[in-house]
């Protein structure tokens, strides 16, 4: 079932609510530059196990409204708070992929873990997506600037290149086109402005706010958010569990979907 939830005047987020209404809720936050549809292969299976899967299109993406403003992690996490409160969700597993993982971390700090029982970070773009002093991992700011420029000049080509980075294991040409089409449902300016947030926002101070059980899911071959991101998060988040996918890249929830779905379910059940 799909519907929109107003998060502020003139801005509504598209939400898909899949599975039993009384099931344990998993709220999925997609990464850059996609939308909730990227978790199709979780929605296919996890409701069979009794989970209520809730997919959200972030503002500017998918079927959500596309304002000119509001693409900071603070605003994006505030939007998630409105979705949780509007749906009356409790005991939530908050699952964020890539930039969505960064937004989930900001949510935990900014909203004091409001109604979140456990956190799942899937190849999260954290604690920093870009390199900095004493942090040699991720992209340089200049490399992200190039992505932003490509967004403004040839977004379909950018998405095609990004698809090749996203999946370590072979994908079919139709699947790659499906991935590109998902990205093209976003506004170009939304894609650019969230890339600015990826480039500039840091989450080091947010990590101490996380006190709920946390699962860190990361592919060793990740070319977008290097595996070192997951290692650092595991070291810095108290009593976190680390799920490593030896042969997967950034799209681990697709390329290792059976193992990932099993691991996510196991993590929820044990915590």
Q: What is the pLDDT of residues 78-129, one digit of tens each?
A: 999 999 999 999 999 999 999 999 999 999 999 999 999 999 999 999 999 9
| Integer Cα distance of 126 and 38 in angstroms | 20
In tens, the pLDDT along 80-94 reads: 999 999 999 999 999
Residues present in the chain in total: 271
Which of 19, 37, 46, 40 lies closest to 266 in space, CA to CA? Answer: 46
Catalytic residue among 222, 234, 240, 256: 222
- Residue 240 pLDDT exceeds 90: yes
Model pLDDT, residue 226:
98
Model pLDDT, residue 168:
87
Mean pLDDT of the chain: 97
pTM here is 0.98
Catalytic residue among 250, 256, 263, 265: 250
Annotated active-site residue 85? The verdict is no
Annotated active-site residue 17? The verdict is no
- Residue 140 pLDDT exceeds 80: yes
Give the number of other Cβ atoms within 10 Å of residue 174's Cβ: 8
Segments making up each domain of the chain, as ranges: 2-270
Handedness of CA 25, 29, 34, 38 (dihedral sign): negative
CA angle 233, 236, 237 (to 5 degrees): 80
The CATH homologous superfamily for domain 2-270 is Alpha/Beta hydrolase fold, catalytic domain (3.40.50.1820)
> pLDDT tier at 159 (50, 70, 90 boundaries)?
very high
- Residue 1 pLDDT exceeds 80: no
Catalytic residue among 77, 98, 128, 248: 98
Which of 14, 17, 12 lies closest to 27 in space, CA to CA? Answer: 17
CA angle 26, 233, 105 (to 5 degrees): 45
In tens, the pLDDT along 196-230 reads: 999 999 999 999 999 999 999 999 999 999 999 99
Q: Tokens for 174?
A: 């139709």
Annotated active-site residue 258? The verdict is no
> pLDDT tier at 169 (50, 70, 90 boundaries)?
confident
* DSSP string of 47-58, one letter each residue: GGGTEEEEEEPP
* DSSP string of the chain, one letter each residue: -EEEEEEETTEEEEEEEES-TTSEEEEEE--TT--GGGGHHHHTTGGGGTEEEEEEPPTTSTTS---SS--SHHHHHHHHHHHHHHHT--SEEEEEETHHHHHHHHHHHHTTTTTEEEEEEES---SBSB-BTTB--SB-HHHHHHHHHHHHH-HHHHHHHHHHHH-SS---HHHHHHHHHHHHTS-HHHHHHHHHHHHH-B-TTTGGG--S-EEEEEETT-SSS-HHHHHHHHHHSTT-EEEEETT--TTHHHHTHHHHHHHHHHHHHH-
Model pLDDT, residue 182:
98
């Amino acid at each position: 079932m799909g519907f929109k939830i107003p998060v502020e005047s003139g801005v509504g987020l598209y939400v898909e609510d899949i599975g039993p209404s009384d099931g344990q809720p998993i709220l999925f936050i997609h990464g850059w530059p996609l939308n909730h549809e990227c978790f199709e292969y979780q929605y296919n299976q996890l409701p069979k196990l009794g989970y209520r899967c809730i997919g959200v299109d972030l503002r500017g993406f998918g079927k959500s409204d596309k304002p000119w403003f509001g693409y900071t992690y603070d605003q994006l996490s505030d939007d998630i708070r409105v979705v949780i409160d509007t749906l009356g969700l409790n005991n939530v597993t908050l699952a964020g992929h890539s930039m969505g993982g960064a937004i989930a971390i900001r949510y935990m700090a900014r909203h004091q873990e409001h109604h979140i029982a456990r956190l799942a970070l899937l190849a999260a773009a954290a604690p920093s997506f870009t390199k900095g002093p004493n942090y040699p991992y991720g992209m340089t700011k200049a490399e992200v600037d190039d992505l932003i420029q490509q967004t403004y000049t040839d977004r379909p080509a950018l998405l095609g290149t990004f698809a090749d980075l996203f999946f370590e294991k072979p994908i079919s040409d139709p699947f790659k086109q499906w991935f590109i089409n998902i990205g093209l449902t976003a506004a170009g300016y939304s894609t650019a402005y969230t890339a600015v947030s990826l480039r500039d926002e840091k989450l080091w101070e947010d990590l101490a706010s996380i006190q709920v059980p946390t699962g860190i899911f990361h592919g060793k071959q990740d070319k977008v958010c290097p595996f070192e991101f997951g290692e650092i998060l595991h070291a810095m988040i108290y009593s976190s569990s680390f799920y490593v996918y030896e042969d997967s890249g950034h799209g681990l929830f697709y390329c290792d979907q059976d193992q990932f779905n099993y691991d996510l379910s196991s993590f929820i059940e044990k915590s």
